[in-house]
Amino acid sequence: MQSQRKYRVLDNKLKIFALTTIIVSSLIIPLIMPHITHQSMIYHIIIHIISLNIAVFLGLVSILAYLKKSSIRMFLMALGFVTLAIVEGIMLLSSTGNLDNVILPSVNIELPHIVLLVMLTLFGLGLLKAN
């Protein structure tokens, strides 16, 4: 009975979303504090914060779904959402000025573009993978 009640929060997706939003937002408050007064930048940063919150939520839900079902398709989709959260984190750090544009010198491509390509590949493999 106790163990069933312990994981009840993980069954309610609204509670998971609220919890991840609170945790992610509280962790990135120090990053956005210097930009609160810059009206042109704060909206850009808020969009990345919202995107990061959604990506972390979707990553967590897909990981929980993978743990329940344990299929390769769910694993690839979970990796795709985790990769989306990583690229949103990179873009947030770039928009706050805490991270310069990381460019891979051999191919002259920005790192977020490579990570987006990996994310799309993982989603594609997850969709196309036959059971």
pLDDT tens digit at each of 131 positions of the chain: 455 555 565 678 888 899 999 999 899 888 888 877 778 788 888 898 999 999 999 999 999 889 988 888 889 999 999 999 999 998 888 888 777 877 878 888 888 888 889 999 998 988 887 66
DSSP string for 74-93: HHHHHHHHHHHHHHHHHHHH
Report the alpha-carbon distance of residue 60 to residue 20 in Å, rounded: 9
Going by C-beta distance under 8 Å and a sequence separation of 6 or more, which residues neighbour residue 74?
62, 65, 66, 126
Are 85 and 52 in contact by the 8 Å Cβ rule? The answer is yes
Domains of the chain, residue spans: 2-128
